Structure 1
């Protein structure tokens, strides 16, 4: 059974915007009408205390998109739950309009779906979808990695060592959202060596989708799982520097087999 409309009591920690000066008059924002996203009922939602920080008008939509993506990865936005723009707007200290715009972006990415007159429901994903995403990522990234292994000089791979080390630090923190960001940064840097911007964008979109939680909560919440995943980045760099194609092929295949 679908869960009812949720307040932001479950959205905390990683979803908060860094402390900044109060935004300029948000009532001047362009009121964009989104299909089915207007007129959400809020009478059933618990009051939300004013956050300590609010977003600046200049980048309000982008900041909210980033915050909501973080909340998704962290499992603070629950699969199947419905969230209304007005209440989330209170959480961020802005009007409902930029929240609707941010949620509409997430709807285009497949993370949420519009619920007319209520808000947005977090999409419920199963293990099959996760496996399909991993397969597609492998089909795209494997041949690129093997080509780069043959052509990129070792010193260029060595320059990515700090990013691999950052994923290890993020994994040690045990925070799924922090690790997800560093994980994407590492893969983005590797694929950027191909010089194909379209490839990088498509691969990152697939990667982001693969990090959203399954029904029942985020996978790979255990620190040991994150640490093991991060260790594969370092091993992959070592193999790329050595131009050991067999090891590269095996590591990439194993990485995607356990991807989430």
Structure 2
């Protein structure tokens, strides 16, 4: 059985998020766990009652999620959770491969070992979350690892592009995958990638990141 956090208002690392951002994080958590389902329409007052908060921050947070492509506005009704097609997942994976593979391989020569080692706790947390079936912890640690790694490239715009792609894709289908025990292998690839980067093994880095992105797409394809 998947361990699921209730849709509380999480406070993540870094600066303290605003209340609106915390509500948006709670709604993302509900998407991850499947509490909010693709294709369903939800009203801001209805979600506010479910979460035990007022409707205004829920409406504002849902507008933020609409900008990210996670929900669509439905006039006079609320917001519909968007579904992601197989074609869209293929396109997201293709763009991520174009960005992440060469960028990660380049870090073999440029990333400082202390900066790489600082990512190990996030990589280890991904594995622990996969073992526990804790989807929210998994997504948070996975996002932290990959964006932290790409940040070492020094290209902030590149990081934001990947962040947007991941928001649009990685939330879907994780519950069934965790129940089936399929997340562990993908999780362990983060540690393998770090070891290859620290060893300055360019070919191994290329092989691992390529396999990892293919593995991720395979997980998406298997979500049904």
Q: Settle same-fold status: TM greater than 0.5.
A: yes
> What residue number does 1:230 align with?
187
Q: CA deviation at 1:64?
A: 0.8
State whether structure 2 residue 28 is matched by structure 1 residue 69.
Answer: yes
Q: Distance in 2 between the 1:218 and 1:211 partners?
A: 11
State whether structure 2 residue 17 is matched by structure 1 residue 16.
Answer: no
Gaps of 5+ in 1: 1-11, 19-57
Pairing 1:231-250 to 2, within 5 Å after superposition: 231-250=188-207
> What residue number does 1:145 align with?
104
Q: CA deviation at 1:161?
A: 1.5
Say which SS state the counterpart of residue 78 (structure 1) adopts. Answer: coil
Give the alignment's Cα RMSD to 1 decimal.
2.1
> What residue number does 1:211 align with?
170
Q: Distance in 1 between the 2:104 and 2:29 partners?
A: 28
The answer (yes or no) to whether the contact 2:70–2:81 under 8 Å persists in 1 is: yes
The answer (yes or no) to whether the contact 1:179–1:226 under 8 Å persists in 2 is: no
The answer (yes or no) to whether the contact 1:103–1:120 under 8 Å persists in 2 is: yes
Once the two structures are overlaid, the 10-residue window that deviates more, 121-130 or 226-235, is 121-130
Inter-CA distance 101–224: structure 2 relative to 1 (3 Å threshold): same
Normalized per residue, which structure has more helix?
2
Q: Distance in 1 between the 2:44 and 2:186 partners?
A: 35
The answer (yes or no) to whether the contact 2:32–2:135 under 8 Å persists in 1 is: yes
> What residue number does 1:166 align with?
125
Q: Distance in 2 between the 1:219 and 1:203 partners?
A: 24
**1:144-189 deviations in whole A, cap 9, x for unaligned?**
1111111223333222211111111111111222211110011011
> What residue number does 1:120 align with?
79
Q: Which has the larger radius of gyration?
A: 1
The answer (yes or no) to whether the contact 1:14–1:74 under 8 Å persists in 2 is: no
Q: CA deviation at 1:66?
A: 0.3
The answer (yes or no) to whether the contact 1:171–1:223 under 8 Å persists in 2 is: no
Say which SS state the counterpart of residue 224 (structure 1) adopts. Answer: coil
Which of the numbers 71, 92, 104 marks the counterpart of 2:51? Answer: 92
Inter-CA distance 212–159: structure 2 relative to 1 (3 Å threshold): closer
> What residue number does 1:83 align with?
42
Q: CA deviation at 1:87?
A: 1.2
The answer (yes or no) to whether the contact 1:171–1:227 under 8 Å persists in 2 is: yes
Give the TM-score taking structure 2 as reference length. Answer: 0.86
Q: CA deviation at 1:201?
A: 1.6
Gaps of 5+ in 2: 11-16
Q: Distance in 1 between the 2:6 and 2:166 partners?
A: 19
Give the TM-score taking structure 1 as reference length. Answer: 0.74
Q: Distance in 2 between the 1:221 and 1:159 partners?
A: 27
The answer (yes or no) to whether the contact 1:144–1:194 under 8 Å persists in 2 is: yes
Q: Distance in 2 between the 1:148 and 1:257 partners?
A: 20
Which of the numbers 159, 176, 179 marks the counterpart of 1:200? Answer: 159
The answer (yes or no) to whether the contact 1:15–1:70 under 8 Å persists in 2 is: yes
Q: Distance in 1 between the 2:64 and 2:165 partners?
A: 15
